[in-house]
A and B are shown apart, each in its own frame.
Chain A
Amino acid sequence: MSHIHITLKDVSFGYEKNKNILTNISFTAREQESVGLIGANGAGKSTLLKLLVGLLPGYQGSVEIMDTAVKKETLPWIRERTGYVFQDSDSQLFMSTAYEDIAFAPRNYGLPADEVERRTARALDLTRITHLRDKQIYKMSGGEKKLVSIATILSMSPDIILMDEPSIALDPKNRRNLIQILNQFTHLKIIASHDLDLILDTCQRTILLSRGNIVADGPTAEILKNQKLLEQHDLELPLSLLGRPQT
């Protein structure tokens, strides 16, 4: 198996006793793979992503990042290698300027000032937002905040990127820009989204969750063309496959 991978075996989790949000989830995602996580509201997509970075303790089964079990003692190691982009950028960004926010993680990992500067500049460059370096966060548009959010995790040089609804609240231009940026990353990516067109454009593999269970796992094009399967689980064909313009 490749060095960088995520493995889940029979994972179940619930916020309340006897009420599972996720039930017997098992899959493996490997190096350079881009995996789309789709499902209707409440299917458990965000919960699954949060389990991977240890934000939700108390699960059953086994969650491993590069053969290391996700538990309290291993969280610093796992979080240094796993970047998580929140659904709401306002929750992700908490410093005053883009630079300060992007430099936050490298500084916390005790890197010297010149390395912090190098990583921050590279993250800004990769997300094409060098011009936003000293801009105040509260003055940014939704699209700008989303790109800064992605840059904040790129400065950690993670092996794995997890994204929760990355295209939410983005206009068509910013969305296209985001897709281009995501496609240039070679990290292992797991992208949870309702935006099936985004999944179609960025992920080779898709996992369909329904009421906390994996009901399909395979090539994206195959799953997203299966109208019957999607409709059975409260989803619809992507607009691009219906021949309609994407919004």
Chain B
Amino acid sequence: MDELAARDTWLNRVHPLAKLLVTLACISVTVSFSKYNLVGLLVMAVYPASLFILNELSFPDALRRLRVVLPLVCMVGLFNPFFDREPAASFGSFTVTYGMISMVTLMMKGILAVLSSYLLVASTGIESLCYALRRLHVPAILGTQILLTCRYISLLLAEADRIVQAYSLRAPRQKGVHFKVWGSLAGQLLLRSMDRANEVYESMSLRGFTGEFYDHPKNAFQWKDAWYLILWLLLIAAARYFWR
């Protein structure tokens, strides 16, 4: 994700505040559609679709990165067809119920929200995103928590990778990690990642960190950023108005 955010594309160059506001507006409007408004949600899909195309981002790559989150999002409305069986339309012997429609809309809302967030992070980077949050007067502690959590996750993953590698090299015939050692590996992972996290914290505090990240934006908010913001806000508002 850091690599995607570091690319020099037109979307990456847009001020983080403009991108954050557009994403928030998009997600808010998306979730505000009624649970049977499938057409409105299809129109809202134009936002992520156009950004994927215009910013030359790989959609399959996004699906691969989001493969853990998307199934969870899709499970949200899974039981709606069982609870709401009122027929909405019939195609021959097949009856489409309102429960089926609401299941699809709930899934779409989740998917669109996740894809919009993905586009924001992939084109902005976590540091710039936290800078934008501070510009919106979000408490500094929240931005710091987001940044530290991101750092901790990467440490945790790196340590997990090392432990699993060391295990697999000494248990070559074992497929995966045997359940008998899950406990001890999880304990090791926790202890080692905490040690590493502590060292990182020491390194930060030795360089003046007192609980808040400071970041100077690479570019000031310019007219092109304002146009980006205004254009998308108008389009999103129009989608909400005409397909309510």
Contact = CB atoms under 8 A, between A and B. Distances in A.
Contact of B208 (A88, A97, A109): A109
Contacts of A94: 151, 200, 203-204
Contacts of B204: 94, 104
B207 A95 contact: no
Interface string A72-100: 00001001101110101011111111001
Nearest to A109: B208
A84 B199 CA distance: 12
A40 B149 CA distance: 37
Give the size category of A's interface with B.
20 to 34
B3 A108 contact: no
B203 A100 contact: no
A152 B199 contact: no
Contacts of A134: 6
Nearest to A79: B206
Contact of A153 (B154, B196, B207): B207
B214 A110 contact: yes
Contact of B216 (A80, A90, A107): A107
Nearest to B203: A92
Give the size category of B's interface with A.
20 to 34
Contacts of A123: none
Nearest to B1: A96
Interface of A: 53, 55, 76, 79-80, 82-84, 86, 88, 90-97, 100, 103-105, 107-110, 113, 116, 134, 136, 138, 152-153, 156
B29 to A, nearest CB: 31
23 contacts: A79-B205, A84-B206, A86-B199, A86-B202, A86-B203, A90-B158, A93-B203, A94-B151, A94-B203, A95-B127, A96-B2, A100-B127, A104-B204, A105-B208, A108-B207, A108-B209, A109-B208, A113-B216, A134-B6, A136-B2, A136-B6, A138-B154, A156-B208
B6 A97 contact: yes
Main secondary structure on chain B at its contact with chain A? helix
Nearest to A110: B214
B81 interface: no
Contacts of A136: 2-3, 6
B128 to A, nearest CB: 10
Given A96-B2, A96-B127, A108-B214, A152 B202 contact: no
B77 interface: no
A105 B213 CA distance: 10
B149 to A, nearest CB: 13
Given A96-B2, A107-B214, A79 B208 contact: yes
Pick the 8 closest A-B CB pairs, nearest first: A108-B208, A91-B199, A105-B207, A107-B214, A113-B216, A96-B2, A92-B203, A94-B200
